Structure 1
Amino acid sequence: MKKDITYEGAVRKLEEIVSKIENDELDIDMMVNELKEAKELIKFCKDKLTKTDEEIKKILESDEK
């Protein structure tokens, strides 16, 4: 996975992988590689959402003081 990928880019790539799987476009070897990449992309997206949520909470808390 690219180090400079954005959240939106990761979601688009996940959508592409899901589409390939749903349309039976992958042989078994390709499917394993795509699923490994999907796992990394999901972790990236989850981490990004968690970090963003924490940053928003800090901003909102500082505004309340």
Structure 2
Amino acid sequence: MEQPLSYEAAYAELQQIATAIEDETVSVDVLAEKVKRASELIAFCQGKLRATETEVNKIISQMERGSNG
């Protein structure tokens, strides 16, 4: 069974893909596949960042309400 993807793992894979593309070590045959995977990883990371931002804002809001009460 596959482990759930973490932000760190997704980011590391994105860096590997970017480096391979920049170094031109990705063959034309797999370039589209790598770009598609990079797109999926970017969407995953953006979702994680949005969820984290929402959670942090909620915690800060609760802390502010608690200190004002």
What corresponds to 2:10 in structure 1? Answer: 10
Structure 1: state its 5+ residue gaps.
Answer: none
- Secondary structure (helix, strand or coil) at the match of 1:4 reads coil
Structure 2: state its 5+ residue gaps.
Answer: none
Distance of 2:31 and 2:64 partners within structure 1: 49
Number of matched residues?
64
CA drift of 1:27 comes to 1.1
Distance of 1:18 and 1:3 partners within structure 2: 23
C-alpha root-mean-square deviation of aligned residues, in Å?
A: 1.2
Equivalent AA in structure 2 for residue 62 of structure 1: Q
Distance of 2:37 and 2:11 partners within structure 1: 12
What corresponds to 2:35 in structure 1? Answer: 35
TM-score between the two structures when normalised by the length of structure 1: 0.93
1:28-51 deviations in Å (ceiling 9; x for gaps): 121110000000000000000000
TM-score between the two structures when normalised by the length of structure 2: 0.87
Q: Which moved more, 1:53-62 or 1:3-12?
A: 3-12
What corresponds to 1:45 in structure 2? Answer: 45
Between 1 and 2, higher relative CO (CA 8 Å, sep ≥ 6) is seen in 1
